[in-house]
Amino acid sequence: MAAAQVVASDDFSYTGALTSNGWVAHSGAGNKVIMSNGSHATLDQSSGSGEDDSLVFPPFGATDRVFASFRFRVPSGSPVNPDGQGLYFAHFKDSATSFRGRTGLLSPASAGDFVLAINADSSDLGVGAAWPSDLSFDTWYAVVISWDASTGTSELWLDPTCGSGSSITHTGGFTGDAIEAFALRQSNDYTGLIDVDDIVVGGSFADVLPGTGSFSSSCAGCAGATQAVSGSPNIGGNVYYSVPNATGILFGFVSVCSQICPAGCSVGSDSSILINGPDVMLAVPCDPALIGGSLFSQGVVLGNGGCSASIFMVDVALSDTIQTTFGS
């Protein structure tokens, strides 16, 4: 069991300004406001002042390592064409202006459209670490980045798979910063758009591992019991289940959603496994056979409303049932 290590996320499923949906403008507030269209956010790299936004979370420690994943795309209709110093558009930050793990684009090295690069603490991506092959316009890429406060090292993975895969690293000259935000940046040095989606920030690679997994509600709860699920529902990822005040969490493999008392409480699955306590961490094995499979979870709160004691000898409340579908 463990407390959730996913500290922030955004899938941009809303329409409107990021600053109206949990983000904070730390520079250029109100200028070229970063917007979500209900699918992804778009950064406008163009002349004039532009808003830079932060997704804030509880600070990491001065020796901690922080991870983030996101997807990005550079549309060909208005491509960003950086020079040798590059254009960084995503990074970690502390409460002030210490920007770490700056991630962005460099000019292509050969016949491609651009190169992905990272610099631990400088805006000059050209002296950081660059991905060894060019990338293409109009293509969504999944990225994981990290910054280690104890060593000053940043690492970047491109389209990672279970077991992490290849990466590039760059070590800067600063350590000990308490990271408390993931930031998106708009530059006035270049012209073009960058689309960003599916941001997840956490304390390990497995917490933020991108993939095709998903969460969905499959059966309503009763008596106010609620369940929160976070993490990476992909092979090799970590998933965190939390039901406040729960006696335990039920896990099953078959959805049933069967009402068990007049109060409307329903069991959401075959409930094959019960784990005591309100919080459970599941480490998903690196087994391709799990892809597309589902696990159903539901919290049980004894002695608190819901089905009355006249039926079960004790009052019972059940949370909603969450279906975790594992992805690649």
- For residue 53, give both structure tokens: 């936004």
Residue 214 has pLDDT above 90, yes or no: yes
What's the average model confidence in pLDDT over 178-204? 95
CATH architecture assigned to 6-208: Sandwich (2.60)
> C-alpha distances in angstroms, 69 versus 10, 109, 190, 233?
11, 25, 24, 14
Q: Is the pTM for the entire model greater than 0.85?
A: yes
What integer pLDDT is reported at residue 81 of this predicted model? 77
Closest CA to 248 of 276, 210, 208: 276
User: Which phi-psi region, left, alpha or beta, contains residue 213 (left: φ > 0; alpha: ψ -120 to 50)?
Assistant: beta
What backbone phi and psi angles, to 5 degrees, belong to 207? Answer: -70, -30
What integer pLDDT is reported at residue 163 of this predicted model? 65
CA atoms within 13 A on the CB side of 75: 14
Domain layout of the chain by residue ranges: 6-208, 214-325
> How confident is the model over 26-76, as pLDDT tens digits?
999 999 999 999 999 999 999 899 999 999 999 999 999 999 999 999 999
Residue 84 has pLDDT above 90, yes or no: no
* Averaged pLDDT score across all residues of the chain: 94
| Interatomic CA distance for residues 89 and 69, integer angstroms | 14
pLDDT band at 308 (very low <50, low <70, confident <90, very high): confident
Closest CA to 115 of 125, 100, 102, 124: 125
